Amino acid sequence: MLMSGFAGLMWLLYLAMLVLAVVALVMAAVFRDDAYRAADKQNKGFWLIILGIAVAVNLLVPMLFLQLAGLVATIVFFVDVRPALRQVSGGGGWGRRRGGSSSDGPYGPYNGGR
């Protein structure tokens, strides 16, 4: 029973790494190529190749070391590259704000207490 629980946990871990890599790959494909240059990051092709390899490794090669290397690349994309790309492209990609200004609060524009 303990081994089947461990195997299920490892399967969920592999699935989570695959889902993260696929989401990062799609997000990397959504941003424009010039946003990568403006953010002073590696080019779009580089990130598509790295994240594509991470997806392929998670799908085809059941070696935890290689999957962890792909997870590191995915985390680097999410933590470093994606925020820089969103900042340069004005919040482009998923989760961007629609309209409004930077002084808008959660319930409308902030007027300084007037």
Instruction: Look at the block and give the residue holding tokens 């961007």.
Output: 96
The vertex-71 CA angle with 65 and 74, nearest 5°, equals 150
User: What burial class does residue 23 get, using C-beta atoms within 10 Å of its C-beta: 0-12 exposed, 13-18 middle, 19+ buried?
Assistant: middle
Q: What is the pLDDT of residues 45-98, one digit of tens each?
A: 999 999 999 999 999 987 888 999 999 999 999 999 999 999 988 765 554 455
Question: How crowded is the C-beta side of 90, counted as CA atoms within 13 Å?
Answer: 4
User: What burial class does residue 66 get, using C-beta atoms within 10 Å of its C-beta: 0-12 exposed, 13-18 middle, 19+ buried?
Assistant: middle
Q: What is the pLDDT of residues 24-42, one digit of tens each?
A: 999 999 999 999 999 999 9
Instruction: Look at the block and give the residue holding tokens 């089947």.
Output: 4
